[in-house]
Amino acid sequence: MVPAALKPGPASTEAVVIGGSAGSVRALDLILPGLPAEFPPILIVVHVLASSLTSLASVFSRRAALRVIEAEPGAPIERGHAYFAPADYHLLVEPSRRCALSIAPPVHFSRPAIDVLFESAAEAYGPLLLGVVLTGASADGALGLRALVDRGGRALVQDPATAEAPTMPQSALRLVPEARVVPLSSMVAELRALERAS
């Protein structure tokens, strides 16, 4: 049975945005390998150090059926792909549904910032977007998730009780109390239900 919050409405979901910080790499290691190769496109921001030498895309490309890549300017956002924000660049979605990168100032002391991705994706996809906030130790993502829902999109938030760092999901739930709260162990099932509903 499809959970109520993910039942098909007047529009299907055409893209997913995911944001997280502390503990989210481990969370994504449970989520991304569980998704099928033809899943809707996923755009991902994880707070990483600007000096990071390891691309998260290269790490997950060996573990997931999706094609996992680092976002590049102008790249079309396509089904079956997961796009990671590069270190020290904001990732945005253009109105034409292509990736864009920015070196604008950090938001919540972070670049890339989750709010930047969520807000630009909400403008591009409106009610066709699903936002997911994972574990993390800042308030980044809360304003973006609010903007996403205000434009008709749907929201999932990791249950803070299952988060390595609960501040980020707690902040999101304060601004978006209508978001569906999902324990990490059930996140893949929720997203797969989304796939069947879309």
157 domain residue, yes or no: yes
**Of 24, 120, 138, 140, which is the active-site residue?**
140
6 domain residue, yes or no: no
40 domain residue, yes or no: yes
The Cα-based distances of 149 to 20, 153, 155, 185 in angstroms read 18, 5, 7, 24
State the pLDDT at residue 116.
98
Domain count, the chain: 1
State the pLDDT at residue 110.
95
43 domain residue, yes or no: yes
State the pLDDT at residue 194.
75
**Annotation marks residue 150 as catalytic:** no
- The encoded tokens of residue 98 equal 């292509």
**Of 47, 81, 90, 108, which is the active-site residue?**
47
Which CATH number fits the domain that encloses residue 157? 3.40.50.180
Q: What's the angle, vertex CA 100, arms to CA 43 and CA 195, rounded to 5?
A: 25
Domain that holds residue 103: 13-197
**Annotation marks residue 47 as catalytic:** yes
180 domain residue, yes or no: yes
Per-residue pLDDT of the chain (198 residues; tens, 9 = 90+): 334 444 444 458 999 999 999 999 999 999 999 999 999 999 999 998 665 656 899 989 999 999 999 999 999 999 999 999 999 999 999 999 999 999 999 999 999 999 999 999 999 999 999 999 999 999 999 999 999 999 999 999 999 999 999 999 999 999 999 999 999 999 999 998 876 665
Residue type for position 119:
E
C-alpha to C-alpha distance for 80 and 36, rounded to whole angstroms? 8
Sheet holding 180-182, edge to edge: 67-70, 81-84, 42-46, 15-20, 129-133, 154-158, 180-182
153 domain residue, yes or no: yes
- The encoded tokens of residue 67 equal 């094609």
DSSP labels for 87-125? TT-EEEE-TTSBEEEE-PPPBTTBSS-HHHHHHHHHHHH
**Annotation marks residue 29 as catalytic:** no
- The encoded tokens of residue 92 equal 């945005």
